Amino acid sequence: DVVVVGSVNADLVVGVERRPGPGETVLGADLATHPGGKGANQAVAAARLGARAALVGRVGDDGHGRLLRASLAAAGVDLAHLATTPGAPTGVALITVGPDGDNSIIVSPGANARVGPDDVAAARAAITAASVVSCQLEVPLPAVAAAARLGAEAGARVVLNLSPPALVPDDLLARCDPLVVNEHEAAFLLGPDGPRDPAAMAEALRRRGPRSVVVTLGADGALVAAGPEPVRVPSPRVAAVDTTGAGDAFTAALCLRLARGDALPDAARYAARAGAAAVRAPGAQGSFPAPGDLPGP
């Protein structure tokens, strides 16, 4: 169904009263270690919703790598193309959470930085057989570009989540169907003089070349630009506990439904329910819904 090409990180989370300045030490709460990384999150979220999902990526030969493999395997993700890089650490995100729930994050890509076009070539059979190839930008651009090219040439639908935001070549943008961005990523692509109204943002992004665009709007749902007029998709109202992973759950659910043949607005309506489900519980992968957990439309 869905092949995800992307990152695998251990999220190392410590609660603090305040952040240390240069040269300073502060004491924090107990360390929590969670499986994360946008690629792994999307693969887990898609599998939990019932997709056949495979992940193309890299971990290190270390405890974090084994933790991530275990969580991916438990969700039923196909790990035939998850390679181990000897001598490189598994990617980590060092996360401090302040008293107001505000995050500061340092990502050390580790093995993710070694994902390249060779890894895409090694996964050729899986990528060319996929209905949907899903990429984000936590692995190097040459790998993303190679996966999008291979997938598109084989007739797969290419979904690119522009996260973390970065400029990408026009030929990659042109293969996206859809390009998925939140408001910050949309604003990054459109620049300081770009539109701020979500519908205008979606239209302006579409003129950059992607075949379709989805702008996610947090509690306000999403905007889909695929036909002549942008379509607004609502999100169910839920009590938000922790929005970590909402975008990953949204994109994964979108990929699943596109793989099953939904039109983009219908897939986005389903995805908004998955995104909303993911904000009801703390963390990323632990909050991802099974089909029975989805809030009503």
Residue choice 49, 272, 287, 288 for contact with ligand ADP (CB under 6 A)? 272
Among 106-114, 170-178, 189-197, 275-283, the segment contacting ligand ADP (CB under 6 A): 275-283
Buried/exposed code over 111-142 (b: 16+ C-beta within 10 A; e: otherwise): bbbbbebebbeebeebbeebbbbbbbbbbbee
Q: Which of 144, 217, 253, 259 binds ligand ADP (CB under 6 A)?
A: 217
Identify the residue among 221, 230, 283, 289 touching ligand ADP (CB under 6 A). 221
Nearer to ligand ADP, 33 or 103 (CB): 103
Q: Please give the positions annotated as active site.
A: 248
d(CA 239, CA 259): 30
Nearest distance from C-beta of residue 69 to ligand ADP, angstroms: 25
Judged by CB under 6 A, which of 93, 127, 246, 255 binds ligand ADP?
246
Is residue 289 at the binding interface for ligand ADP, with CB under 6 A as the rule? no
- CA distance readout (Å), 193 to 86, 187, 249: 45, 9, 31
Is residue 143 near ligand ADP by the rule CB under 6 A?
no
- With CB under 6 A as the contact rule, which of the stretches 119-127, 133-141, 243-251, 254-262 interacts with ligand ADP? 243-251
Q: In what order do the strands lie in the sheet with 2-5?
A: 82-85, 53-60, 2-5, 132-135, 157-161, 176-182, 213-216, 222-225, 231-233
Number of residues that bind ligand ADP (CB under 6 A): 18
Among 37, 89, 275, 283, contact with ligand ADP (rule: CB under 6 A): 275
Residue 7 as a binder of ligand ADP (CB under 6 A): the answer is: no
Q: Please state the separation of Cα 95 from the chain's center in Å.
A: 18
Distance of alpha carbon 246 from alpha carbon 94, whole angstroms: 19
Residues 6+ away with beta carbon under 8 Å from 242? 101, 279, 281, 282, 283, 287
Please say which residue, 11 or 78, places its beta carbon nearer to ligand ADP. Answer: 11
What is the binding site for ligand ADP (CB under 6 A)?
Answer: 182, 216-219, 221-222, 235, 238, 240, 243, 246-247, 250, 272, 275-276, 279
